[in-house]
Chain A
């Protein structure tokens, strides 16, 4: 029982990342009809927004400490962050400690800007082109973006820890009457799940309860009619691209304490997220979220030692197996709409 609860928890946080990326992918596909293979790169850039803000907050000046020496035997130069000088050491430490949550504020405008620039600068030229062209150009863009990040930040993972308040683990066992020390789950992963739920809820509320969202939904259903009503749907769709980029970016920001970010992390999620979109149903936002969590939990169960002892390697293929089964039985995916990608 404890093992099952743990794997469900594991699946929820993994599913949160899948769901957030797939949600953005679906938003872009549903509005612009573009299959965006650069979406994983947006997740990665979001993570590097956290790295960047963390570095900005930690910008330091050197103070020579004559009591210590460096590796060459010279007096040690100690880095003192400017925030210590400006706000005092306690506040400075708190700012550095909370760099990842603070990065949310930094990442939103950056990611919306990158999304809009990407759509206006490149992707709009491929609206009328076949999906294969869109995939090629966005995949190429993803490689360019990750090489740019590698150039500036290097190839090694960069540790970006959670605030001290969220380090450590919550003992579900002790809290819910099971054996203590068995169902342990890191606080930050619980925060990530909660954060994903809030973002997903906010996107749905935005589309459902605002005039802007209503127009976008109408455009997704029938673009030409909305344009005939005199509404500039292109501008709204461009903004939706920016919002989708921000969703991916925020997913990346909050993921940094879970795994140290590196330039390749977007690619690790990209293919799986596309499978999530296909399983959920192309163009279906609830489908993307549902499939994200479903496949995350299934992948987690398939990684159990008891399962792997019987079927080695199942965890590597479970998502694709499920995708095949669902597409054979429900060709439009779990919640796919009729007519999407069927022309």
Chain B
């Protein structure tokens, strides 16, 4: 027979927790608030930067945070103004947003969906953040985007490359500047065919999660359309560190191209292992064996060292671009931090400015007004050429860079060279192909 022990402290603790739990949905709907969630009332406005500060993508997160700090500095009129000088919209004057000084809080996503949601929730509820931005993973982006939709704040995605973010999981309150798997496939395939021929047999190693699936599908579909045959597609666990047992079966296959649908540490290790096993020195079917990495990141390429030399991939932006926007951003970032920005830093900086600009043009921090201002917004001068924020799925459409590991780098940053700037027309697709519904914007209150 059990005995029920009731204590005053226990009852109080249970009551507080239960009360908070019951109140939360109401708070998130924010019916008790006037206007919209976290409407700024003083002379400041708070933005929430949710980036990986620990975990495997912490270095990428640190670069994102540097970019956000630079963006805040420029928005408040500090520094050299950065991309405010080259941005085609002139709504931002360097006096904050709608005259309110920009302040920020940060959260640590840990590259875990639950931790990322918790930190975003904390910034919205405790710190009064009116917008959440950042992240280095599609799983995190989809999870935080759903939370922001529910809470009635805008989510400006950081580095997320899965089709799903603005495909089947798109939300009215979520916006992505970064490119996606489909665009990588569409940009890469013609370059691969031009360099390696149309008669190729590809073997895919794919990270066993959402981003891996969409990237494999995009590259497979695009290359098969140009005549390539897919010999095998093998899923590899996200936690895998030694890929030797996945590499050796390739030696027995008649594949002459290996596509590594891996990112981060997975990419560093699988590429290193593939090179160790002599795949790049191999001749198959009378052709030189080749390796392809669909999504490149300079920070990750650094981890793979000399193994990236000559390997094709795609990227959202690269510091060596010579347009006025890119040069301005590299100058601002490089002068402040002493090294060039990564693509993660670039997309985060641009997202912060795009949000601020949309608020200025919409005349309100209300998420629905911001969403309207961003929908079908065409802009230039941000480093990617003319860009469209498509209203149907809140995905940015712009040129895509096909890059190659540089044969003779001159510095630790000079790892990739731009092979082609694929025009936006070649990577544009019908918004309906990935399904999903934007739904209605949620202002909170």
A residues adjacent to B (C-beta < 8 A): 2-3, 6-7, 10, 13-14, 68, 70-72, 76, 147, 150, 154-159, 161, 167-169, 181-186, 188-189, 258-260, 262, 264-265, 268, 299-300, 303-305, 308, 315-316
Contact = CB atoms under 8 A, between A and B. Distances in A.
Contacts of A189: 244, 276
Contacts, number: 125
A305 B255 CA distance: 14
Contact of B303 (A3, A13, A158, A305): A158
Given A68-B410, A71-B413, A259-B269, A184 B278 contact: yes
B41 interface: no
A249 B251 CA distance: 32
B319 interface: yes
Contacts of A299: 245
Nearest to B410: A68
A157 B241 CA distance: 11
B245 A186 contact: no
A157 B265 contact: yes
A92 B282 CA distance: 32
B248 interface: yes
Interface stretch (B52-60, B84-92, B169-177, B384-392): B52-60
Interface in B257-314: 265, 268-269, 272-273, 276-278, 281-283, 299-300, 302-307
B242 interface: yes
Contacts of B135: none
B248 A10 contact: yes
A113 to B, nearest CB: 27
Sort chain B's interface into a size bin.
35 or more
Contact of B330 (A7, A71, A76): A71
Nearest to A264: B56
Contact of A154 (B58, B245, B306): B58
A328 to B, nearest CB: 26
Given A184-B278, A188-B276, A71 B340 contact: yes
Nearest to B253: A305
B252 A182 contact: yes
Nearest to B303: A157
Interface in B42-82: 54-59
Contacts of A184: 251, 277-278
Q: Which of B245, B277, B302, B304 lies at the interface centre, i.e. has the most chain A CB atoms within 10 A of its CB?
A: B245
B431 to A, nearest CB: 33
A82 B302 CA distance: 23
Interface of B: 54-59, 232, 234, 237, 239, 241-242, 244-246, 248-249, 251-252, 265, 268-269, 272-273, 276-278, 281-283, 299-300, 302-307, 319-320, 330-331, 334-335, 339-340, 410-411, 413-414
B251 A6 contact: yes
A10 B245 contact: yes
Closest 8 CB pairs of A and B: A159-B305, A303-B245, A155-B58, A169-B278, A157-B303, A186-B276, A6-B248, A157-B268
Contacts of A76: 410-411
A181 B272 CA distance: 19
Contacts of B59: 154-156
A186 B55 contact: no
Contact of B319 (A71, A156, A158, A265): A71
Given A156-B59, A308-B234, A259 B242 contact: yes
A158 B265 CA distance: 10
Contact of B252 (A2, A185, A262): A2
B252 A3 contact: yes
Nearest to B335: A72
A185 B413 CA distance: 32
10 contacts: A6-B248, A10-B248, A71-B334, A71-B413, A72-B334, A184-B277, A186-B278, A259-B269, A262-B56, A262-B265
Contact of B56 (A3, A155, A158): A155
Contacts of B304: 157, 159, 260
A143 to B, nearest CB: 11
B249 A260 contact: no
B341 to A, nearest CB: 10
A169 B276 contact: yes
Nearest to A13: B244
A6 B303 CA distance: 27
